[in-house]
Structure 1
Amino acid sequence: MNRLSTAWGDVALARYPEDPRETLRAWDAADEYLLRRLAEDDMRASLPSPPAAPTGSLVVLGDRWGALTVSLAAYGPVQITDSFLGQSATRAALARNGVEETAVRMLSARDTPPARIDVLLVRVPKSLALLEDQLHRLAPAVHADTVIIGTGMVTEIHTSTLKLFERIIGPTRTSLAVRKARLIFCTPDTSIPRTAGPWPLRYALPDDAGTPGGRPGVIVNHAGIFCADRLDIGTRFFLKNLPARHDAERVVDLGCGNGVIGTAVALANPRAEVTFVDESFSAVASAEATYRENVDSDAPAAFLIADGVSGIADGSVDLVLNNPPFHSHRATTDTTARRMFEGARRVLRPGGELWVVGNRHLGYHVRLRRLFGNCEVMASDPKFVVLRAVRS
């Protein structure tokens, strides 16, 4: 845990879940730059008077670990995020800093946004599609006097980012870079038509993807989901090498994304009960939509927005399927994969199996062998490997 110094006092922050081995901070130079700008006299005047409860007039979009929301808690902000872990980090930070959770209103990226926004702060996400979707959703609440400031590292703010702000909200400019971070200033143009965004997208799965009995026909993707308009090559490889199972069993699609893997399992084995789990609200919404498009509505399935398998009972699962991410925003890290593997081992029954697909160079076999005591290569090509570990 570290302390972020702001004009409103020091704030104790940590990523979620808090891990003493974690070396990454819960904020970066982009968060600091925005908070410093808000503390300047001309900007302080634009902030709402500290309310007794959130009003919706100050909206923080895409706050990663709660640094912006908690620092500005006195102004009753509404936090909008697609991340369950981001929400959880914010709740933990509020408690850690002695702030009542009711001081902040938390919404997911799928929730209805506030009807009026006077100040909009945007932490630019990695996904341009997610930014597009959220700007479309928030634009009707913006008025001519709304103050809009975005922030991000210079590697995150591109010409396409600025064009999105300009096309959906209004004229946009950027600040000078400070410590490799920039601010975005956008002036609302209420003459721009407020149209709905293009999301979710639907596309047909290629004929050569997956086995005939387990090939979903249509994939549904809300904004922000990895490879939203096509099947990524890692998932394609996994689909071709999924275990052939026919017994009644409980299967978890861990880090489900758009749900194509779990849906393929449900189609290939109608006796399976599949649970789709992801920390992204949009991912779980995509997975449920994909499942409903392809599987009989009476087939048993569950959809969980959670920190890994935290909502699943120990020793209750027969099979876990996992394509773990190896990035946390801009940072490359195996922390998420490690926690997914540990959680999978906990929920698997004795004899239960974890199947993992990953890039060969990530070396997941070493960690799996250390954790499970075994690891077998089930399939490989020059780029990817499918591994199986069995809980003894």
Structure 2
Amino acid sequence: MDFPYSRLRRWPDVEADNLQAHDATDLLLVERALALGIDGREIVVIGDEYGAITLALTSAGFDGVRVHQDLATGRRALERNAEELGLAGFSSHELDATLLDGARLVLLQLPKALAELEETADAAARWAAPDVVLVAGGRVKHMTIAQNEVLGRSFAEVQAQRAERKSRLVVASAPRPVPSEPPFPVVAQHDGLTLVAHGGAFAGAKLDIGTRVLLEVLGLDGSRLSMGAHTRAESMPEAADPADPCGVVNGGEPSPGPIAVDLGCGTGALAASYALAHPHARVIATDRSAAAVASARATTAANGVGDQVTVMHDDAGSELADASANIVLLNPPFHLGSSVHTGAATRLFEAAARILRPGGELFTVYNSSLGYRAELTRLVGPTEQVHRSPKFTVTRSIRR
């Protein structure tokens, strides 16, 4: 099969010379599926970052392939690449029974987190056909014996294949009986804050250390922001371009209170904490990870602020209206998958600048070694350091 992998793009994800929209693992998974010859309606693809696996199969004539992608960027890239290549024959799903019901072959790009792998393997054993075969693949340098052990909790037979092109496949079959309740989401308590996490959510049910620093610096465990940001936000006029249902999504009605955005919300710790401290504010929590969004929704509900916080599966706040937010809280990532790349943070800085109103405030926490202050000043506005340790820096930027 001669599929034009080189025509695939990562857009709207970060694109750079050292970042591709496919790898050798994609090719190995496609080759295995072609060799098995299973009907497309019985094939599920999970973790297909930009559509390389799904579109190669549909191009080869497999119809009815079901796909789950955690990232909103991946979902948009798949749609865009399918349109560019004139391909169809697949459907997108969340990680649930509709994705896996009756599946006999599951193709999986191994996730970075063992917890995400555990949730995925359990889902396949729980909802797929009794004779399902799960074929997981990854780059050899990122694979571990622990991944086999996790697969072994849900499948009786786990066999690693010979490495090819610096990638390797692991074949899991004979699903084990599943417990009555899935292993995820998990719940943990942190000084009065309840965190709920699905397997693919960053840091799980732990309180990420960077988030913890930002919470402490802003005093979000108290009745107000320690630097008075909430008071300033309340004095600002209403959003000029309001929207749905919190006054920040295009096309809705204005919100009567200040609007705070947790950009890249993860499990929703910042959003829930802000809402608890400021019951009259409206809060938007947005993340490109479906696992994070499901976690944040569960977290806000568990803390009794589900009606105050709107959680959105979105790419860098792209669905939020320009100049609609009073405050943005941000703990940006510095990895893109397994690659260290600051482009993800830059996109979030640009997003914050767009959605903040003039005079609005961006509070950012980041690894001190990254030195983002100059970039924040350039992209957002005047930026001051409000906290610094050898590990983390917290800055406050005012939208010019």
State the alpha-carbon separation in 2 of the partners of residues 8 and 142 from structure 1: 30
Q: Is 1:311 the counterpart of 2:296 in the alignment? A: no
1:60-99 aligned within 5 A: 60-73=45-58, 74-76=61-63, 77-99=65-87
Question: What is the CA distance between 1:141 and its match in structure 2?
Answer: 3.7
Aligned counterpart, 2:37 = 46
Aligned counterpart, 1:323 = 331
Do the aligned partners of 2:353 and 2:399 also contact (CA within 8 Å) in 1?
A: yes
Q: Deviations along 1:30-68, whole A, 9 cap, x unmatched?
A: 2123234444xxx2x4332x6xxxx3x010111111111
Opposite residue 260 of structure 1, the aligned amino acid is A
Report SS of the residue matched to 1:324.
Answer: coil
Cα 1:356–1:301 shift into 2, 3 Å = same
Instruction: Name the % identity.
Output: 33
Question: What is the CA distance between 1:289 and its match in structure 2?
Answer: 1.4
Opposite residue 12 of structure 2, the aligned amino acid is P
State the alpha-carbon separation in 1 of the partners of residues 123 and 305 from structure 2: 31
Report SS of the residue matched to 1:378.
Answer: strand
Task: Determine which of 217, 238, 261 is the counterpart of 2:193.
Answer: 217
Q: Is 1:275 the counterpart of 2:284 in the alignment? A: yes
Question: What is the CA distance between 1:278 and its match in structure 2?
Answer: 0.4
State the alpha-carbon separation in 1 of the partners of residues 378 and 33 from structure 2: 48
Q: Is 1:24 the counterpart of 2:19 in the alignment? A: yes
State the alpha-carbon separation in 1 of the partners of residues 96 and 335 from structure 2: 23
Cα 1:315–1:144 shift into 2, 3 Å = closer
Cα 1:352–1:129 shift into 2, 3 Å = same
Question: What is the CA distance between 1:81 and its match in structure 2?
Answer: 2.1
Question: What is the CA distance between 1:110 and its match in structure 2?
Answer: 5.2
Cα 1:203–1:146 shift into 2, 3 Å = closer
Cα 1:252–1:99 shift into 2, 3 Å = same
Aligned counterpart, 1:4 = none
Structure 1 unmatched runs, 5+: 1-6, 207-215
Report SS of the residue matched to 2:19.
Answer: coil
Task: Determine which of 204, 207, 223 is the counterpart of 1:228.
Answer: 204
Q: Is 1:9 the counterpart of 2:3 in the alignment? A: yes
Aligned counterpart, 2:172 = 186
Aligned counterpart, 1:124 = 110
Equivalent pairs counted in the alignment come to 362
Q: Deviations along 1:278-326, whole A, 9 cap, x unmatched?
A: 011121121121112223555x321111111111110111011011111
State the alpha-carbon separation in 2 of the partners of residues 187 and 316 from structure 1: 50
Q: Deviations along 1:142-184, whole A, 9 cap, x unmatched?
A: 4454343111011332111111222202211112222321111
Cα 1:19–1:293 shift into 2, 3 Å = closer
Question: What is the CA distance between 1:362 and its match in structure 2?
Answer: 1.3
State the alpha-carbon separation in 1 of the partners of residues 187 and 3 from structure 2: 47
Report SS of the residue matched to 2:323.
Answer: coil
Cα 1:306–1:296 shift into 2, 3 Å = closer
Task: Determine which of 217, 226, 233 is the counterpart of 1:241.
Answer: 217
State the alpha-carbon separation in 2 of the partners of residues 71 and 155 from structure 1: 25
- Root-mean-square deviation (CA), in Å? 1.9
Task: Determine which of 188, 198, 201 is the counterpart of 1:203.
Answer: 188
Question: What is the CA distance between 1:253 and its match in structure 2?
Answer: 0.3
Report SS of the residue matched to 1:155.
Answer: helix
Q: Is 1:59 the counterpart of 2:44 in the alignment? A: yes
Report SS of the residue matched to 1:137.
Answer: helix
Between 1:155-164 and 1:305-314, the stretch displaced more is 155-164
Aligned counterpart, 1:109 = 95
Do the aligned partners of 2:138 and 2:167 also contact (CA within 8 Å) in 1?
A: yes
Task: Determine which of 372, 382, 385 is the counterpart of 2:393.
Answer: 385
State the alpha-carbon separation in 2 of the partners of residues 69 and 314 from structure 1: 34
State the alpha-carbon separation in 1 of the partners of residues 196 and 77 from structure 2: 29
Calculate the TM-score normalised by the size of structure 2.
Answer: 0.85
Do the aligned partners of 1:62 and 1:80 also contact (CA within 8 Å) in 2?
A: yes
Task: Determine which of 315, 332, 342 is the counterpart of 1:334.
Answer: 342
Do the aligned partners of 1:113 and 1:137 also contact (CA within 8 Å) in 2?
A: no
Opposite residue 26 of structure 2, the aligned amino acid is D
Task: Determine which of 347, 359, 363 is the counterpart of 2:367.
Answer: 359
Opposite residue 315 of structure 1, the aligned amino acid is A
State the alpha-carbon separation in 2 of the partners of residues 147 and 205 from structure 1: 39
Between 1:242-251 and 1:87-96, the stretch displaced more is 242-251
State the alpha-carbon separation in 2 of the partners of residues 46 and 240 from structure 1: 56
Report SS of the residue matched to 2:320.
Answer: coil
Report SS of the residue matched to 1:113.
Answer: helix
Aligned counterpart, 1:209 = none
Do the aligned partners of 2:121 and 2:154 also contact (CA within 8 Å) in 1?
A: yes
Question: What is the CA distance between 1:22 and its match in structure 2?
Answer: 5.6
Report SS of the residue matched to 1:295.
Answer: coil
Aligned counterpart, 2:28 = 33
State the alpha-carbon separation in 1 of the partners of residues 299 and 127 from structure 2: 30
Calculate the TM-score normalised by the size of structure 1.
Answer: 0.87
Cα 1:22–1:272 shift into 2, 3 Å = farther
Report SS of the residue matched to 2:328.
Answer: strand
